């Protein structure tokens, strides 16, 4: 997007990962600006990426074609108040990566005619392996949809969600999902240590096993159930472990966990309205 001027409001880890991915993909540093109140963070961004930085959201957003709102949900309304006049004047594409804040809330804070995309990335974006769900309002043009997908997709994979009601499910699945994965790996390591394995060996084997399994799932394009069946011999060790998971109602536990995360997303929307 060589002709697109992108302003990030907030310069935390997720913004940093997207900026790095965009520059690595060929976006010129002169096209990117960041508004970040923390001086140390501003200095680091300027030094690391050679981009323009500002202390205020309004000055950073000036003349931008795309605004990426990368601040915490609890301060989003205040940030929108700071940039509202500029957004009304220029009508840039506004992309939010904050959990829980709905499109209709942004329309009230920034104006009903604002092109808006709500996105939910996850932390693997920090290493270029993120997953992002996106939903747009009716004011977003096809070109702007491409811009949003390119920005979020620069640090992984982006997928459009056509109904905003599903965004809390996106948050529960991929937004919070890395924590579920890390918890499972942590439990596997602890169990192996209890059996007498040194922790460093257990950690290395568990991490590599999960990396390999993830690559097989992505690169083979086959269903996870089929891949599971291929590694499960009747009466074997894998079958014994899977039987223990079934006895503990693993599927039900996962469903309840995702339901809890989904409900919390809806609560956040109301809390920050």
pLDDT per residue over 242-267, tens digit each?
A: 999 999 999 999 999 999 999 988 88
Residues 6+ apart with CB under 8 A from 35: 7, 8, 9, 10, 11, 53, 54, 55, 56, 57, 58, 59, 60, 61
- Residue 4 has a pLDDT of 86
Q: Report how far residue 102's alpha carbon sits from residue 12's, in angstroms, rounded to the nearest whole number.
A: 21
CATH superfamily of 6-167: NAD(P)-binding Rossmann-like Domain (3.40.50.720)
Domain range summary for the chain, segments of one domain joined by +: 6-167, 175-269
pLDDT along the chain (273 residues), means of 10: 82 93 93 95 95 92 94 93 93 93 94 96 91 96 95 95 92 95 98 98 98 96 96 96 97 97 84 73
Q: What is the pLDDT of residues 130-179, one digit of tens each?
A: 999 999 999 999 999 999 999 999 999 999 998 999 999 999 999 999 99
Q: Report how far residue 25's alpha carbon sits from residue 93's, in angstroms, rounded to the nearest whole number.
A: 20
- Residue 271 has a pLDDT of 78
CATH superfamily of 175-269: ProC C-terminal domain-like (1.10.3730.10)
Q: Report how far residue 42's alpha carbon sits from residue 208's, in angstroms, rounded to the nearest whole number.
A: 36
Q: Report how far residue 21's alpha carbon sits from residue 156's, in angstroms, rounded to the nearest whole number.
A: 9
Whether the model pTM is above 0.75: yes
Facing residues of 42 across strands? none
Sheet with 93-96: strands ordered across: 52-54, 32-35, 6-9, 66-69, 93-96, 116-120, 130-136, 156-160
Nearest C-alpha neighbor of 168 from the set 108, 106, 102, 105: 102
For residue 73, give the H/E element and its range: none
Residues 6+ apart with CB under 8 A from 257: 180
Q: Where are the beta strands (DSSP E) in 57-129?
A: 66-69, 93-96, 116-120
Exposure string for 127-166, b = 16+ CB within 10 A, e = fewer = eeebbbbbbbbebbeeebbebbbbbbbbbbebeebeeeee
């Amino acid at each position: 997007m060589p002709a697109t001027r992108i302003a990030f409001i907030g310069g935390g880890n997720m913004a940093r990962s997207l900026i790095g991915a965009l520059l690595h993909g060929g976006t010129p540093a002169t096209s990117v600006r960041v508004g970040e109140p923390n001086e140390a963070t501003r200095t680091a961004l300027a030094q690391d990426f050679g981009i323009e930085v500002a202390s205020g959201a309004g000055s950073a957003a000036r003349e931008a074609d795309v605004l990426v709102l990368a601040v915490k949900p609890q301060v989003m309304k205040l940030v929108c108040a700071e940039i509202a006049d500029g957004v009304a004047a220029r009508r840039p594409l506004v992309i939010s990566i904050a959990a829980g804040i709905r499109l209709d809330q942004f329309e009230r804070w920034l104006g009903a005619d604002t092109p808006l995309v709500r996105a939910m990335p996850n932390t693997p974006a920090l290493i270029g392996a993120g997953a992002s769900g996106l939903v747009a309002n009716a004011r977003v043009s096809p070109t702007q949809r491409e811009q949003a997908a390119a920005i979020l997709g620069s640090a992984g994979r982006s997928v459009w969600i056509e109904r905003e009601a599903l965004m809390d499910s996106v948050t529960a699945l991929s937004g919070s999902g890395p924590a579920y994965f890390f918890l499972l790996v942590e439990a596997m390591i602890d169990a192996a240590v209890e059996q007498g394995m040194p922790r460093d060996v257990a950690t290395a084997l568990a991490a590599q096993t999960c990396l390999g399994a993830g690559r097989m799932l992505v690169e083979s394009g086959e269903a996870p159930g089929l891949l599971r069946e291929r590694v499960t011999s009747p009466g074997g060790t894998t079958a014994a472990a899977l039987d223990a998971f079934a006895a503990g109602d693993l599927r039900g536990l996962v469903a309840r966990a995702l339901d809890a995360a989904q409900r919390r997303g809806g609560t956040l929307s109301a809390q920050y309205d």
